[in-house]
Structure 1
Amino acid sequence: MGFFDGLMGGRAAQFQSGSASSNAIELTKRHPTVSLSKQGAVNGNLRVNLSWRMRTSDFGGRSRQSGRLLRHPSKLFKPEIVQAHTQGVVNVDLDMGCLYELADGSRGVVQPLGNLLGDLNDPPYVKLSGDDRFGSPSGETLYVNLDHADEIKRLLVFVYIYDQTPAFDRTHAVVTLYPTTGPRIEIALDERAPEARSCAVLSLENVKGELVVRREVRFVYGFQAELDRLYGWGMQWGRGYKTAKG
Structure 2
Amino acid sequence: MSQTLIAGANAALPTDTISIRILSDQPIDCAAYRLASTAKVRGDGDMVFYGQKSSDDGSVSFRGHETDGFFDIQLATQPAQIEKIALAFSSDKTLAQIGNVDIQVLQGSTILLTCQVEAGNRSEKAVILGECYRRQGSWKFRFISQGFDGGLKPLSEHFGVEIADEAPVPSQNNSFNNNQTNINTARQNSPPPIPAASSPSPSVNLSKITLTKNQSSINLQKKDDFGKISINLNWNQRPDNSEMPKKGRLSDLFKQHSKGIDLDVGAMIHLKSGEKTLIQALGKRFGSLNTAPYVLLREDDRTGQSTNGEWLDINGAQWAQIEEVFIFAFIYDGVPNWAQTDGVVTLHVPGQPPIETRLTEGANAKPMCAIARLVNKQGSINVERINQYFGGHKDMDQAFGWGFSWQKARK
Q: Distance in 2 between matches of 1:41 and 1:186?
A: 24
Inter-CA distance 111–192: structure 2 relative to 1 (3 Å threshold): closer
Which one of 269, 286, 294 corresponds to residue 100 of structure 1?
Answer: 269
Q: With a CA cutoff of 8 Å and minimum separation of 6, indicate the structure with the bigger relative contact order.
A: 1
Q: Deviations over 1:86-127 (max 9, x none)?
A: xxxxx3110000001000000010000111000000000000
Which one of 24, 29, 32 corresponds to residue 213 of structure 2?
Answer: 29
Match of 1:144 in 2: 314
Which one of 274, 282, 295 corresponds to residue 113 of structure 1?
Answer: 282
Counting aligned pairs with the same residue, the percent is 31
Q: Secondary structure at the match of 1:226?
A: helix
The code of the aligned residue for 1:14 comes to T
Match of 1:7 in 2: none
Larger helix percent? 1
The code of the aligned residue for 1:52 comes to W
CA contact (8 A) 1:175 1:186 kept: yes
Match of 2:387 in 1: 217
The code of the aligned residue for 1:143 comes to D
Q: Distance in 2 between matches of 1:237 and 1:71?
A: 42
Q: Distance in 2 between matches of 1:27 and 1:219?
A: 17
Match of 2:373 in 1: 203
Q: Distance in 1 between matches of 2:359 and 2:319?
A: 26
Taking structure 1 as the reference length, the TM-score comes to: 0.76
The code of the aligned residue for 1:53 comes to N
Deviation, structure 1 residue 188:
0.5
CA contact (8 A) 1:173 1:189 kept: yes
Q: Deviations over 1:131-167 (max 9, x none)?
A: 1232522111100011111110001110001136322
CA contact (8 A) 1:41 1:181 kept: no
Q: Distance in 2 between matches of 1:198 and 1:149?
A: 27
Taking structure 2 as the reference length, the TM-score comes to: 0.47
Q: Distance in 1 between matches of 2:405 and 2:323?
A: 20
Inter-CA distance 149–111: structure 2 relative to 1 (3 Å threshold): same
Q: Compare CA radii of gyration and give the structure with the larger one.
A: 2
The code of the aligned residue for 1:65 comes to K
Corresponding position: 1:177 with 2:344: no
Match of 2:24 in 1: none
Which one of 208, 227, 235 corresponds to residue 52 of structure 1?
Answer: 235
CA contact (8 A) 1:54 1:80 kept: no
Q: Distance in 2 between matches of 1:163 and 1:208?
A: 39
Q: For the aligned residues, what is the CA RMSD? A: 2.9
Runs of 4+ in 1 over 6 A off after TM superposition: none
Deviation, structure 1 residue 23:
2.2
Q: Secondary structure at the match of 2:394?
A: helix
The code of the aligned residue for 1:123 comes to A
Inter-CA distance 216–194: structure 2 relative to 1 (3 Å threshold): same
Q: Distance in 1 between matches of 2:240 and 2:408?
A: 35
Q: Distance in 2 between matches of 1:231 and 1:187?
A: 20
Q: Distance in 1 between matches of 2:315 and 2:238?
A: 33
Q: Distance in 2 between matches of 1:113 and 1:226?
A: 17
Written as runs of structure 1 = structure 2, the 5 A alignment for 1:227-238 is: 227-238=396-407
Inter-CA distance 147–52: structure 2 relative to 1 (3 Å threshold): same
CA contact (8 A) 2:375 2:382 kept: yes
CA contact (8 A) 1:51 1:174 kept: yes
Q: Deviations over 1:9-39 (max 9, x none)?
A: x856428xxxxx942100000001111227x
Deviation, structure 1 residue 238:
1.4
Q: Distance in 2 between matches of 1:130 and 1:161?
A: 17
Unaligned runs of 5+ in 2: 1-174, 183-204
The code of the aligned residue for 2:265 comes to M
Aligned residues: 212
Match of 1:65 in 2: 247
Q: Distance in 2 between matches of 1:139 and 1:41?
A: 30
Inter-CA distance 80–190: structure 2 relative to 1 (3 Å threshold): farther
Deviation, structure 1 residue 65:
3.0
Which one of 189, 200, 204 corresponds to residue 359 of structure 2?
Answer: 189
The code of the aligned residue for 1:95 comes to D
